[in-house]
Structure 1
Amino acid sequence: MDSSNLLIFIICAFALGIILILSRNNIPPKLRRSFAITALVMVVIAFGLLVYSFFSMGQ
């Protein structure tokens, strides 16, 4: 697995989550739920890939 692409995705996913949390009052109500679900899915995938990379590093 290419670690540079993984690192970029993890940073972007967590940054998107932080940005959405900090600017939750400025997002229109119609888009708020879809943005939150998208950010949550990306953060969960990034966390899963991070854990997977730690376990597969020793092999």
Structure 2
Amino acid sequence: MSGTVAQWERWTGMAFPRSSRYVVPGGLDLLAVDRERDQGLHEETNLWMRHPDTMTRI
């Protein structure tokens, strides 16, 4: 999800004074803020795992 820095500040109630990566409430990954481009980008990593079937069949 992307938006301007002002949008992200409004959505989160936080201030992002410099370009960096920030922890945001409810986010599963960091928010990347680029002040020069006036952009915030939040991408959550998709991770799929396969678990062995350990259930005993009766």
Q: Which TM-score bucket, shorter chain as reference?
A: under 0.3
Which of the two has greater helix per residue?
Answer: 1
Structure-1-length-normalised TM-score:
0.25
Which of the two has greater strand per residue?
Answer: 2
Structure number, greater radius of gyration: 2
